[in-house]
Amino acid sequence: MLGAHPDDCDQDGGGTAILFAKMGYAVKFVSVTNGDAGHQTMKGSALAKRRFAEAQEAGKRFGVTYDVLSNHDGQLLPTLEVRMQVIKKIREWNADIVIAPRPNDYHPDHRYTGVLVQDAAYMVAVPNVASDVPALTKNPVFLYFQDNFQRPNPFRPDIAIDISDVFAKKIHAMDAHTSQMYEWLPWIGHYLQDVPKNSGEREDWLAKTRAVKITPEVKSSLEKWYGNEKAAQVKQAEAFEICEYGAQPGDEEKKRLFPMLGMK
């Protein structure tokens, strides 16, 4: 999973990552920037260092490896240089599944992470590009994280995963991003006064603020994959849209790639 900042994959795919890790699959999160702009009082290398340490702790709690690239936060552009970094990351991991934001997000870093991964989606298989890392002999399946943006087209939940059983674990992992969950995001969102002073109450509060409402479209996808009865009991879900670039799996292949689908 690739995100722009060291906490993006966590929110959008953390539950799915936990489920994969529990089944013995290897999951990597990659933050394309180092997060050195995301704070109201800290900045630069001190902030990047703090966020790297938070990401490593979160990775441990999720059961994934967490890479952070050194590109500056708030300044990401879809350049050839960063495209090569992304191609190499996907190749070195020999990824079967690659998940990234859609390129119509509000945040330019998210948007360009989406563009960068789309730009890599064919090139990972081209041997003459970034030839110091061997090209993949198969093309992975590329997917997008869920978002609420409507233009030019709304998110389509091709796959929806029940993460109810691991939601508390996901929140515990996100809790590692202290600088974001309890400082920066509440500050920029004007709800800093709501953050519990007592650290023992923080994870309960985080669970309330980070729960995602299941949209009717996601509900339909859950019904497709889990059946109506099980889908009705799902409390928390993560959904993904299959990108038109890269391998195009049929339903049987989707179940092979996401073995948690239909399991409870």
Residue numbers at the binding site for Zn ion (CB under 5 A) = 4-5, 8
Q: Which is nearer to Zn ion, 5 or 170 (CB)?
A: 5
The least CB distance from residue 87 to Zn ion, in Å, is 21
Give the tokens for residue 127.
Answer: 């041997």
Q: Which is nearer to Zn ion, 1 or 4 (CB)?
A: 4
Q: Which is nearer to Zn ion, 5 or 50 (CB)?
A: 5
The least CB distance from residue 185 to Zn ion, in Å, is 10
The least CB distance from residue 107 to Zn ion, in Å, is 6
Q: Which is nearer to Zn ion, 109 or 119 (CB)?
A: 109
How far apart, in whole angstroms, are the C-alpha atoms of residue 34 and residue 45? 9
Q: Which is nearer to Zn ion, 105 or 158 (CB)?
A: 105
The least CB distance from residue 38 to Zn ion, in Å, is 8
Helices (H), the chain: 8-22, 44-62, 80-93, 108-123, 167-174, 178, 185-188, 202-210, 216-226, 228-232, 251-257
Q: How many CB atoms lie within 10 A of CB 147?
A: 17
Residue nearest to Zn ion (CB): 5
Q: Kindly report each contact of residues 44-50 with a partner whose C-beta sits within 8 Å and lies 24 or more positions away, as own/partner.
A: 47/179, 50/179
The least CB distance from residue 100 to Zn ion, in Å, is 12
Region for 201 from its dihedrals, namely left if φ exceeds 0, alpha if ψ lies in -120 to 50, beta otherwise = alpha
